[in-house]
Amino acid sequence: MTRFISAMRIILPIIILALFCFAIPPVVAESNLSIELDPEAQYGQVWAYETYLVNVSIQELNLSSIDFSEFTGNPSSIFIEGEIKWRGKGGYDFGEGTTGYNLNLDEVSVSDTVSLDGGSTFFNLTLEKDAYDYGRLPFETIEIIFTFDVYVEMSDESIGPKIASTSNSFVLVDEMKVSYLEGKYLNMQDEINTAVEGSGLRSFNRARFQKILDDMNASLVIGNYVEALDIWDDYDEDDRADMINALIRASSIQYAELSTELEELQTFEGQLQEAQTDLAILELEYNQLESTYNTLSNTYLKVNTELDVAQRNLSTAITAVFLTAIVFYFLGRRGIRREEAESIVEPDIY
């Protein structure tokens, strides 16, 4: 019993794995179709008057995954058919509304039969007209749309099931469109530089509109005129208006800030005027005090001079009195002495 349980532990996972393998159907790669141009169509654009080698090829072809039960005969070859359309696209603005249009300008059909092993076809495509030849303006877009389907062709010359399809589109560019975009870039540059390089308006988002200008310039430098046209259209339709509105908002904010600062300055100006008035009063009072001081100083000097004169006069008077007293003292002493002498010389006669 123990051996049986051990054996079941080993066999049971194998059985479960086998059941999963039978339950999951095998994965079969689906056929896919590709379209390549030579020279390569950079940035999804092709040039007027240029000749391109077009390669339409099918990959991952697996006939065993295709149901042929509804067809007679056997697979004998691959049939590739397609069409190339020139389509004009544009739009018009009227008020706040916009309308777009699509116009079929030209069309060619392409077909080829290749072996089951080949799976690809090549053909040359020369773009003989530019936008002007198609009656389109530089701001309009001409798309060249490649649409291809691949079928299995049966041995009885009937067309079997479709096995793949694809569609690629490219934008036609020419020298007129390049000149148009370069001119629009100069217009954008003048407008944005005027707004960005202006002083003040601290809340204005200069970086956003500078980036739009830089992106437009970068697209022109690398030759991506499809992107350059998109940038110009966005700027012409929305970004320019956004920039003007942003300038208005920033001006309003700046005006409000300046008004507040002006009110504060007016308050300071009032305080300054009060301080100037107080200073003028203090200067007047100082001048009055200085005048009073000068008057008192002059009076003091005059009084000191008079006191000095009086002091000298008093000293002179005291000296005169003192000398007079001395003179009279000596005169008095002389008279006394004379009387005494006379009394001694002349005795009394009885």
Helix (H) or strand (E) holding 50: none
Q: Which residues of 261-273 are buried (b: 16+ CB within 10 A; e: fewer)?
A: eeeeeeeeeeeee
Neighbours of 12 (CB within 10 A): 10
- Give yes or no for a contact between 7 and 1, defined as CB atoms under 8 angstroms apart: no
Same domain, 58 and 160: yes
Same domain, 139 and 187: no
246 contact partners, CB below 8 Å, separation of at least 6:
204, 205, 209
| Residues of the domain holding 249 | 174-308
Same domain, 107 and 237: no
What pLDDT score was predicted for residue 214? Answer: 97
Distance CA 228, CA 233 (A): 9
What pLDDT score was predicted for residue 177? Answer: 97
Same domain, 136 and 196: no
- Indicate the residue type of 9: R
Same domain, 189 and 166: no
Beta bridge partners of 107: 85
**222 is a domain residue:** yes
**22 is a domain residue:** no
Same domain, 169 and 182: no
Block means of pLDDT (10 residues each) for the chain, length 350 residues?
50 47 42 91 96 92 80 88 94 68 93 86 95 94 96 88 93 97 97 87 90 97 96 94 92 83 78 80 77 74 74 72 69 66 54
Phi and psi at residue 48, in whole multiples of 5°?
-60, 145
**128 is a domain residue:** yes
What are the C-alpha distances in Å from 223 to residues 113, 178, 228, 309?
Answer: 37, 9, 9, 112
- Indicate the residue type of 107: E
What pLDDT score was predicted for residue 329? Answer: 67
Same domain, 138 and 226: no
Same domain, 74 and 193: no
Place of tokens 């003292």: 329
Same domain, 178 and 153: no
Q: Measuring CA to CA, which residue among 179, 155, 145, 166 is closest to residue 57?
A: 166
Last residue of a domain, which of 173, 201, 217?
173
Domains held by the chain: number: 2
Place of tokens 């309003």: 252
Last residue of a domain, which of 173, 193, 222?
173
What pLDDT score was predicted for residue 7? Answer: 47
What pLDDT score was predicted for residue 21? Answer: 40
Same domain, 90 and 183: no
Q: Measuring CA to CA, which residue among 39, 58, 174, 180 is closest to residue 117?
A: 58
**21 is a domain residue:** no
Last residue of a domain, which of 153, 173, 193?
173
**324 is a domain residue:** no
Secondary structure of residue 123 in the 3-state scheme: strand
Radius of gyration, alpha carbons of the chain: 60
Distance CA 313, CA 335 (A): 32
CATH classification at residue 86: 2.60.40
Distance CA 105, CA 107 (A): 7
Same domain, 187 and 165: no
With 0.85 as the threshold, say if the pTM is over it. Answer: no
Distance CA 181, CA 142 (A): 15
Same domain, 93 and 47: yes
Query: How far from the centroid of its chain's Cα atoms is residue 133's Cα?
Result: 41
**20 is a domain residue:** no
**83 is a domain residue:** yes
**252 is a domain residue:** yes
